[in-house]
């Protein structure tokens, strides 16, 4: 039976609730959702939706590195957005991030939501293959 292991890193924001940054089980990394928090200050990055999307992905990449993998090995990503009218801007940041890390964008779902923690515009979670 596969062991369940918690992943935590100071390179990504600490959890703001009763959860862990990620869990490893059966060769897969299950990442909790990341909003655009600065890892050092814990404050929301007050930038446009593209900047928030990028910060979410950078936070996820830090969690992936702590687990010994990279977001380039993502199997599926879910994006939660408070305004789907900004879908093109989110896609632009998302596409640029994956081009930079040398990965093909994985399977993905985008969901419109009424509100996110701390007034964030975007939250992203990921399921990632380990090496």
DSSP state of 115: -
Residue 9 backbone class (left: φ over 0; alpha: ψ -120 to 50; beta: rest) = beta
User: How far is the C-alpha of 62 from the C-alpha of 75, rounded, in Å?
Assistant: 17
CATH of domain 5-129: 3.30.1330.40
SS3 48: coil
- Strands annotated E in 26-73: 28-35
Is residue 65 within a helix (H) or strand (E), and if so which, with residue range?
A: helix 49-66
Q: What is the pLDDT of residue 104?
A: 86
pLDDT in tens, the chain (131 residues): 579 999 999 999 999 899 999 999 999 999 999 999 999 999 999 889 999 999 999 999 999 999 999 999 999 999 999 999 999 999 999 999 999 999 889 999 999 999 999 999 999 999 999 98
pTM: 0.96
> What strands, in cross-sheet order, belong to the sheet with 5-7?
5-7, 22-25, 28-35, 122-129, 74-81, 107-112
């Amino acid at each position: 039976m596969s062991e369940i292991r918690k992943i935590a890193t100071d390179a990504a924001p600490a959890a703001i609730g009763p959860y862990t940054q990620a869990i490893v089980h059966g060769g897969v990394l299950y990442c909790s959702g990341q909003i655009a928090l600065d890892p050092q200050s814990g404050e929301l990055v007050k930038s446009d939706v593209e900047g928030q999307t990028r910060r979410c992905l950078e936070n996820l990449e830090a969690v992936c590195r702590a687990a010994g993998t990279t977001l380039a090995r993502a199997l599926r990503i879910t994006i939660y957005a408070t305004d789907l009218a900004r879908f093109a801007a989110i896609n632009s940041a998302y596409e640029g991030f994956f081009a930079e890390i040398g990965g093909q964008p994985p399977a993905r779902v985008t969901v419109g939501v009424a509100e996110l923690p701390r007034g964030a515009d975007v939250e992203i979670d990921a399921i990632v293959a380990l090496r």
